[in-house]
């Protein structure tokens, strides 16, 4: 592990989630002499619990967190730049797992621009909180620049979910509060949410849920349907709340207006496993 030199910098990107927070604790304990800079890239659409958790990290670890943010807001990108041409005209369209333009414009580009501006010609050591028990096809939130060297301390040291839990509990940091109803950090409208998590957003932040509803475009007579979930609008999620909760309690996800078939349950389970949001 290298100490800071004139042309090197050590950076830990906090996501607002448990793993990167636990990595901050771990690095502090294992490499107390390392001059780490903590950075959070704010999409401007984070959950209130995320901002509260960042404050908790600042207080518990007694650190500063550099907040990086795009010059333009989500609304700028959504309404001005992301237009899809259809046979019925042009419509703004939502990001999706197949087209994650939100991550690019709200996280990756602002982070890269900040790095280039703040540390031009530096060698950057970037510490990433991927766990040893996670899928190896995940890369975490890293830059594409060649002067950035990623480090994966949890993977190198074989730390798994239980180790992360221990680190967070014994440090007094605990988990972010949104873990009571949601399994990952990110924007309040993140399309990686399960329908049960969308209902969690409705219960915990009804105003944000209604805001997310306003981004959906549904024009049935023109067959236009840009919704956060593939198969259901947010209004429909509220309408089918009981069925969604009952399907989820049987480890599936309600994906239509009829009862789920066994194959659908397996597909929903597989889909849940491959979802990542970094």
- Binding site residues, ligand SF4, CB under 6 A: 43, 95, 100, 102-103, 106-107, 186-187, 190, 192, 277
147 vs 183 by CB, closer to ligand SF4: 183
Minimal distance, residue 103 CB to ligand SF4, in Å: 4
127 vs 192 by CB, closer to ligand SF4: 192
Helix (H) or strand (E) holding 85: strand 83-86
Minimal distance, residue 34 CB to ligand SF4, in Å: 28
Residue 116 CA: distances (Å) to CA of 11, 128, 135: 13, 19, 30
Q: State how far the Cα of 118 lies from the Cα of 215, in Å rounded to an integer.
A: 34
97 vs 172 by CB, closer to ligand SF4: 97
Q: State how far the Cα of 255 lies from the Cα of 163, in Å rounded to an integer.
A: 35
Residue nearest to ligand SF4 (CB): 186
Q: State how far the Cα of 238 lies from the Cα of 218, in Å rounded to an integer.
A: 16
Query: What is the arrangement of strands in the sheet containing 36-42, beginning at the earlier edge strand?
Result: 65-69, 36-42, 8-14, 123-127, 148-151
How buried is 137 (Cβ within 10 angstroms: 0-12 exposed, 13-18 middle, 19+ buried)?
A: exposed
98 vs 136 by CB, closer to ligand SF4: 98
Minimal distance, residue 258 CB to ligand SF4, in Å: 29
Minimal distance, residue 70 CB to ligand SF4, in Å: 11
Minimal distance, residue 234 CB to ligand SF4, in Å: 14
Q: State how far the Cα of 215 lies from the Cα of 190, in Å rounded to an integer.
A: 12
20 vs 103 by CB, closer to ligand SF4: 103
Minimal distance, residue 213 CB to ligand SF4, in Å: 15
42 vs 264 by CB, closer to ligand SF4: 42
How buried is 116 (Cβ within 10 angstroms: 0-12 exposed, 13-18 middle, 19+ buried)?
A: middle
100 vs 243 by CB, closer to ligand SF4: 100
| Angle, CA of 245, 275 and 84, to the nearest 5° | 95
Minimal distance, residue 93 CB to ligand SF4, in Å: 13
Contact 195, 171 (CB under 8 A): no
């Amino acid at each position: 592990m290298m100490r800071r030199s004139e042309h090197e910098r050590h950076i830990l990107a906090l996501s607002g989630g448990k793993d990167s927070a636990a990595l901050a604790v771990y690095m502090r304990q294992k490499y107390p002499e390392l001059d780490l800079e903590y950075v959070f890239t704010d999409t401007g659409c984070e959950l209130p619990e995320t901002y509260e958790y960042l404050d908790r990290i600042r207080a518990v670890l007694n650190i500063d967190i550099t907040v990086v943010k795009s010059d333009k807001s989500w609304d700028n990108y959504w309404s001005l730049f992301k237009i899809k041409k259809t046979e019925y005209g042009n419509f703004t369209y939502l990001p999706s797992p197949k087209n994650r333009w939100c991550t690019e414009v709200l996280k990756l580009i602002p982070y890269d621009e900040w790095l280039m501006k703040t540390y031009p010609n530096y060698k950057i050591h970037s510490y990433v909180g991927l766990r040893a028990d996670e899928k190896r096809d995940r890369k975490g939130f890293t830059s594409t620049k060649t002067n950035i060297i990623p480090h994966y301390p949890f993977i190198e040291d074989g730390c798994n979910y239980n180790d992360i839990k221990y680190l967070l509990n014994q440090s007094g940091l605990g988990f972010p509060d949104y873990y009571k109803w949601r399994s990952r950090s990110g924007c309040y409208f993140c399309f990686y949410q399960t329908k049960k998590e969308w209902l969690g957003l409705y219960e915990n932040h009804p105003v944000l849920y209604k805001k997310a509803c306003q981004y959906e475009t549904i024009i049935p007579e023109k067959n236009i349907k840009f919704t956060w979930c593939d198969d259901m609008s947010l209004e429909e999620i509220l309408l089918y709340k009981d069925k969604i909760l009952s399907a989820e309690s049987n480890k599936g996800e309600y994906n239509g207006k009829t009862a789920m078939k066994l194959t659908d349950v397996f597909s929903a389970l597989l889909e849940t496993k491959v979802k990542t949001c970094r």
